[in-house]
Amino acid sequence: MNKQILYCCLILLASSYISSAQQLSLNGVYRGRDVYVQNPYNSGKNSFCVQSISLNGNTIISSPNSSALTIDLSPFQLNDSISLLIFHYSECLPKILNPRVLQAGSGFSIVQPMADNSSISWISTGEQDKNALYQLEKLFLEGWKTIEQIKAKGDIDNNQYSIGAVHYAGQNQFRIHYVSESIDVYSEVFEYYSTADPISFYPTEDIDELISLSKPTDYQIKDAEGKLYKKGFGLDIFIRELKPGEYILIIENREELFYKPEPEIEPPPVRKRKKH
């Protein structure tokens, strides 16, 4: 009789435990990041909210005595299936701080790329590779060129980036290029129109030795066939070594035509004849 009473008591206790526990689940695939859980204190039970955590059917944490829990997934391989069950008291609710960490697929995207007067900024989601790079590309007359490169942060949730930039007068076009071992992604093209005064140069037509710019900038000098003769950055451009002819000065993504004239040949001095 005593055994029957004891058995009934155990059944009642187990039923009470099950009814007082709730489950929080998270399923997906391993993408190289751990899962973080916020574990509030349950004053009614005089303990923390989480009772236990099961990973792929195996209990890995029991009665944790901490408000911050890390589910270590490092033993898994990328894209392995992950199933988490968090058992907790019904009077409280733990919170998974990074629920997107197990989302299948790359899920990578570049959002809100934009430019202002002095910088380029964007937000990314779904990064996985901390060795990945971002390349800021600008459209020049000869095509897209990388003007800046930075390392990716590698966090799967939102990442914010900002790069300082100097704009040409008028229209400027940019795009962001994300390069990693697994994916290669371009952002949409975005623009910035600068109302700054265009850079001027002097002289404007016949130039013998020196081109003076109103502001330092990058420049190129080509001939009419497109052959590059000089390039650099500065305020003064010396062209003494160029042969006479027609050339193109490229500044601020625009082409300016100038001419280097033939050097003037001074006649030899006239010798005075002696009077006899």
% of the chain beyond a pLDDT of 70: 87
Q: Which of 76, 68, 20 is nearest to 45 (CA)?
A: 20
* Whole-number pLDDT of residue 208: 87
As a whole number, mean pLDDT of residues 92-111 equals 80
pLDDT category of residue 243 using cuts at 50, 70 and 90: very high
- Domain residues for 236? 201-260
* Whole-number pLDDT of residue 273: 65
Higher pLDDT, 21 or 246: 246
Report yes or no on 2 lying in a domain: no
Prediction pTM value: 0.58
User: Dihedral angle at the C-alpha atoms of 219, 196, 142, 111, nearest 10 degrees?
Assistant: 130
* Whole-number pLDDT of residue 270: 67
pLDDT at 4 over 70: no
* Whole-number pLDDT of residue 18: 38
Q: Do 127 and 171 share a structural domain? A: yes
Report yes or no on 7 lying in a domain: no
Report yes or no on 220 lying in a domain: yes
Q: Do 212 and 249 share a structural domain? A: yes
Q: pLDDT per residue over 88-101, tens digit each?
A: 998 899 999 988 77
Tokens of 70: 């890390």
Tokens of 43: 């004053």
Q: Do 181 and 119 share a structural domain? A: yes
Q: Do 141 and 163 share a structural domain? A: yes
Report yes or no on 216 lying in a domain: yes
Report the chain's terminal Cα–Cα distance, integer Å: 162
pLDDT at 5 over 60: no
pLDDT at 258 over 80: yes
The CATH number linked to 210 is 2.60.40.10
* Whole-number pLDDT of residue 56: 95
Higher pLDDT, 99 or 144: 144
pLDDT at 105 over 70: no
Report yes or no on 248 lying in a domain: yes
Give the C-alpha separation, 110 to 153, whole Å.
13
Q: Do 167 and 126 share a structural domain? A: yes
Q: pLDDT per residue over 6-47, tens digit each?
A: 444 433 333 333 335 689 999 988 877 789 999 999 888 889
Report yes or no on 269 lying in a domain: no
Q: Do 135 and 63 share a structural domain? A: no
Give the C-alpha separation, 126 to 118, whole Å.
27
Report yes or no on 95 lying in a domain: yes
pLDDT at 177 over 60: yes
* Whole-number pLDDT of residue 262: 85
Q: Which of 114, 226, 93 is nearest to 162 (CA)?
A: 114
Q: Do 208 and 188 share a structural domain? A: no
Structural domain total, the chain? 3
Q: Do 63 and 38 share a structural domain? A: yes
Give the C-alpha separation, 82 to 74, whole Å.
12
* Whole-number pLDDT of residue 66: 92
Q: Do 36 and 20 share a structural domain? A: yes
Average pLDDT in the chain: 85
